[in-house]
Structure 1
Amino acid sequence: MNPSNKPLAGLTVIELGSLIAGPFAARILAEFGAEVIKIESPDGGDPLRKWRKLYEGTSLWWYVQSRNKKSLTVNLKHPAGREIVRKLIPEADIVVENFRPGVLEKLGLGWDALSAINPGLVMLRLSGFGQNGPMAQQPGFGAIGESMGGLRYVTGFPDRPPVKTGISIGDSIAALWGVIGTLMALRHKERGDTDGNGGRGQVVDVALYEAVFAMMESLLPEFDVFDFIRERTGNIMPGITPSNTHRTRDGRHVTIGANGDAIFKRLMGAIGRDDLANDAELADNAGRDARRSELYAAIDAWTSTHDEAEVLGVLTAAEVPASRVYSIADIVADPQYLARQMIESATLPDGRPFKIPGIVPKLSETPGSTEWLGPALGEHTDAMLMRLGYSAIEIGALRDAGTI
């Protein structure tokens, strides 16, 4: 589709930050049409450029995380560099930043300074512990947010230490909350003066630990009412039965979710356990959960005598939710992923084709898309500065001074 028809077309975003949470939030905005101007240090840029697997010296993650963004190199330690950022603010709708609280204020680029230039500005601030409170000044990464937010305590098996998920989930969750908050702030701004404060921007303050904690379901009320502390339970979810991962005869793993009353009966019938399907004590979730060890033993006994393909075939025919535990090799070959355009084809700078994840969510009329991959460091610097009114001579001087 025409990029100008995307839902966020016409919005300008200034990205001040690096690595995961802030850049991931800005990536989502860029995928749906916002112009994202990523400010990077001329001395190497975002460290993500060198994280994980590199191809010809650049991270493959970088190409995805920074797709549709423009790279403008600015040394924020230089007064002239900070002036460049200030010149971007009048036409900006959003600033995304994930510095430690107080850093931008010391540079003269905090909320008070930037909102004075542009009262309609929305500033998304992602940090470990938020902009206030006794821990605000402490450094905090996603791993800390996952630990403090309660996620790691409940992740893993009861006889082993807490474990992390295989990705930086805390940062990503915070980024999603950040995008939600930013879009709500923009909606408030669009409402005008209906509440006496419309038309103005505001700060969207997302703390990583709070973003994780917000996902923790009934953890808090269960503790408050019953003094119950949820512990690690491996692949099962106490209180929701049956829902577990089971090993098949050929050594694969299949996840089965049959915690609905009718689905449970279909599952038991499919594995030849009509006695359990028709047991009145197992007709609802509470009864099943009370006998979960028995039920999981019955399912294990069945899956362990059948290969993965047969298990999935039987359960699919019985309309029981089930899936193999996908590796990335399974994902790229899966027809559902392909039908939903979740595996896109792209080209690296040297012409080598490679695959990148598709866009989420799917909008029926104004979908997001990949317009270009993560840019080279400073790729858009000259064009952006000329747009701000800098001459070629001035740009050369800034470059010679190490400002850009």
Structure 2
Amino acid sequence: MDSSAFRNSHVARNYDPLPVMLARGQGAYLWDVEGRRYIDMMSAYSAVSLGHAHPRILATLSEQAQRLAVPSRAFCDDRLGPFLDELCKVTGLDAALPMNSGAEAVETAIKAARRWGHRVKGIADPEIVVADGNFHGRTTTIISFSSESEYRDGFGPFMPGFRAARFGDLAAFEAAVTPNTAAILVEPIQGEAGVIVPPDGWLAGLRRLCDERGVLLLLDEVQSGLGRSGTWFAFEHEKVLPDGVMLGKALGGGVLPVSAFVAKSEVMDVFTPGSHGSTFGGNTLAAAVGLEALRVIRDERLVERSQALGARMLQRLNAMRMPAIREIRGRGLWAGVELDPRYASAREVCESLIDRGVLTTATHRTVVRLAPPFVISQEDLDLALDAVEAAISTFDAPRDVGDAAAVADQQLEA
């Protein structure tokens, strides 16, 4: 499918979107400019977990925008306190520092870990241990410890101070921790890598390791948090409490960029006035929307809905026996369908899904990601999964290895 007709010459080419021109969204549906309706199976990478145009979120957005939106953190306001109180309540942690994007929340966590390493542990050059295959954003600090060449190519020099270990391998992390280690920073489930779920007990093992070595455990739950994995936070699956957690995406209710670093007092207390900040981070409008997003998740029992619908989705996906499917991975209402590249690329399947009235996206050429809004009906979920099965089933014969490589190269150049 040719996407060139959908390109605008003034738009930077840092994305290669699928060839569909969207104009409207409501609940779990999206409509294109011609009025055709699609089932959203992506949720904007979990940013729209509550659904498009949620009425309570829109009402809060409108009401607060007419009262006070961005007064600057140079002053106090009546919305930030209640928002951060609720964040600490749901996470079980002590203090929160609001930002905008998920990457900013991760940058905040990195700064906290380094200052904690300097001031609490007395480390001259604090290090942070991360996981291979990680994705925490695309800022220059974060790509310095990415293991994906496409995120790093041409953007050096890179920042030192990071050591990588194999995701899910406790022994590898034990070996990577040194006297200079201030923190371990990982995703409890790796989203961009293809919805990679670690072995049972891995997070609990990291918690024990951090306690034994006097190291902080920092978890990036920007995608996995706020119900996506079937619990409020993915760390709850192993009943661990991190020293700090990064949140974002769904926190903005699908309408604003809202993120936060939430941590224990001993970690957050390293920040002093002027040591960190953001013009828009924690603005009054964002705080009001963020608080309402948390209340909607609680009041509408969306975590429980994610768990129940997620079980159904994974059951149906695991029942799909097709040669093009290599593996099904997932937790909660979040799954990755790993394809055999000899049969099809993930992009080809996603383009085929457009014609079947379903929208989602691919990662690393071989994985179709499925993460619908929590408000999706069981009927629509089943319709979308029917479409996924039908789309993949059309790729029923292996291609010549050279042809498969050519398709991959064409997609990389697009």
Q: Same fold (TM over 0.5)?
A: no
Q: Normalised by the size of structure 1, how large is the TM-score?
A: 0.24
Greater C-alpha radius of gyration: 1
Q: Normalised by the size of structure 2, how large is the TM-score?
A: 0.23
Using CA pairs below 8 Å that are at least 6 residues apart, which structure has the higher relative contact order? 2
